[in-house]
Amino acid sequence: MIRFFPPKHQKILKISIPAALNSLMDMLQVITDLIMVGSISAFAVAAVGLGLQSLMFVFAVLTLLHVGTSALLSRFIGANRVKRASVGLSTLLRFAFFLSLPVMFAWYFLASNIYIWFGTDTQVVALGMSYVQMLTWMLPFVFIKLVFVSALNAAGDTKTPMKVKIGSIIFNIILNYLLIFGHLGFPELGVLGAAIGTVIVNILEFMVYVVLYLKHKTPYLPMWHYSKPLLSRALKVGIPASVERALTFGSFMLFTMIIAQYGTEVLAGYQIGLRIEGLAFMPGIGFTIAAMALMGQGLGAKKPQQAKEDVLLVLKYTVGLMFFLSFFMVFMPEKIVWLFTNDPQTIEQASIYLRIVGLSQIPLAFNFVLSGALRGAGDSKKTLKINLTSLWFVRIIPAFTLSWYFGDIMWVYIAMISDTFVKATWLWITFNKGEWQKIKV
């Protein structure tokens, strides 16, 4: 199919489509827990959903590795400096392991309090504590695995992560079936079983990448070198992106606190709606990965105009895809939500959320691709400024104010999509100015 497209489109689609599918499956793996505990109760859905959302703070740290690895290694690959890229990968793998240890221990003791701070039902608190504490044990493997995936994406190899993810999703479903419901002689562990299955799957994914790396099945040379200058260059780009993600997730948690005040059904509906929306925009994030890699490779090859043209082409495909997916969110949300739960009130609340956010999928495509492109160019400080300013002054503060004044969840969601439109406009203006061409990584 791809061979019928023009050569320039083929290059982009060969990177974008596997990355998009991988991102989609990444979200499918995450929400598998939600789908399979949906038949237990709304409390189980709220516990797992909030646990996954609170884990986003850890993913903020992972952003440091993801953006730093992509921006640094894609430039080396674009300049055809494979050995230098391999030293960079080796350095970042070691750094990822040592970074994961303090994060792991801190999260184990702090994560459980999230449920208490949100004032959730006591049953949600009990289920959620066991869930997030078990997930903590997978963090070292997740950190190192992410560096491998980011390095492969930076080199344009998005097929390998896609294949690994297909196998892990299938295995995750099998483990959830056995451990959540207690089939074939396994104990019925419920929410805890979902967490155990996720931990096992992430460890196995890590092992696959290590084997591929050591057997020379990646574009990089296996080595155990460490370069402090290369680490500093990666951190220069990665730290602002990580700070942005941490503050963004902190803001999202405040946003969730607003929604939690409307009751367990509304919170569960929001969590399910959030995961379904995630399914819709994960392909968009896949195209974002392509934009980041192509931007870095183009600048590494000293071809900024080609990098810009590649990003704009990626943007066109992303807009088209997310516009198509928005129809399902707006016109048939109930048919999607029932896959997650059979609770009528939760279905109603999730459907309200999906109809609202379905209207903002096109500007969301702009946000994903242009943010990724700017980070790939090393301009993570600019994306930090744009995302946080809009998030606080267009989404969070108005949401608090409107919720207090009207007491209606609809106004909270309207503030949320307004932020999406504002950021899309700001990012487009910034990208067109072209100042990112002067940044050195």
DSSP 8-state symbol, 219: S
pLDDT at 18: 85
Q: 35: pLDDT confidence band, cut at 50, 70 and 90?
A: confident
Q: 126: pLDDT confidence band, cut at 50, 70 and 90?
A: low
Q: 420: pLDDT confidence band, cut at 50, 70 and 90?
A: very high
Higher-confidence residue of 364 and 259: namely 364
pLDDT at 6: 67
- With residues binned 3-state (H G I as helix, E B as strand, rest as coil), the percentages for the chain, rounded to 5, are 85, 0, 15
**Dihedral angle at the C-alpha atoms of 52, 57, 60, 61, nearest 10 degrees?**
-110
**One-letter amino acid identity for 100?**
S
For residues 213-236, give the mean pLDDT. 91
**Res 75 pLDDT > 70:** yes
The dihedral sign for the CA sequence 136, 137, 138, 142:
positive
Contact between residue 118 and residue 259 where contact means Cβ atoms under 8 Å apart:
no
Tokens of 426: 């700001």
Determine the straight-line distance between the first and last CA of the chain, rounded to whole angstroms: 36
pLDDT at 343: 78
Q: 261: pLDDT confidence band, cut at 50, 70 and 90?
A: confident
Tokens of 315: 């943007």
Q: Where are the domains of the chain?
A: 2-438
Q: Which of 194-198, 255-259, 269-273 has the highest mean pLDDT?
A: 194-198
pLDDT per residue over 384-413, tens digit each?
A: 889 889 988 998 889 888 888 887 888 888
**Res 213 pLDDT > 90:** yes
pLDDT at 54: 67
Cα separation of 424 and 366, whole Å?
5
**Res 220 pLDDT > 90:** yes
pLDDT per residue over 148-186, tens digit each?
A: 999 999 998 988 998 998 898 889 889 988 888 888 888
For residues 262-286, give the mean pLDDT. 77
Cα separation of 152 and 148, whole Å?
6
Residues written for the chain? 441
pLDDT at 4: 64
For residues 271-294, give the mean pLDDT. 80
For residues 31-58, give the mean pLDDT. 70
Q: 256: pLDDT confidence band, cut at 50, 70 and 90?
A: confident
Q: 116: pLDDT confidence band, cut at 50, 70 and 90?
A: low
**Res 310 pLDDT > 80:** yes
* DSSP code per residue over 58-110: HHHHHHHHHHHHHHHHHHHHHTT-HHHHHHHHHHHHHHHHHHHHHHHHHHHHH
Cα separation of 349 and 437, whole Å?
45
Higher-confidence residue of 129 and 273: namely 273
State the chain's mean pLDDT as an integer.
84
Residues 6+ apart with CB under 8 A from 4: none
pLDDT at 185: 80
pLDDT at 422: 95
Tokens of 168: 């892990």
Short-list 212, 185, 208, 182, CA closest to 197 = 182
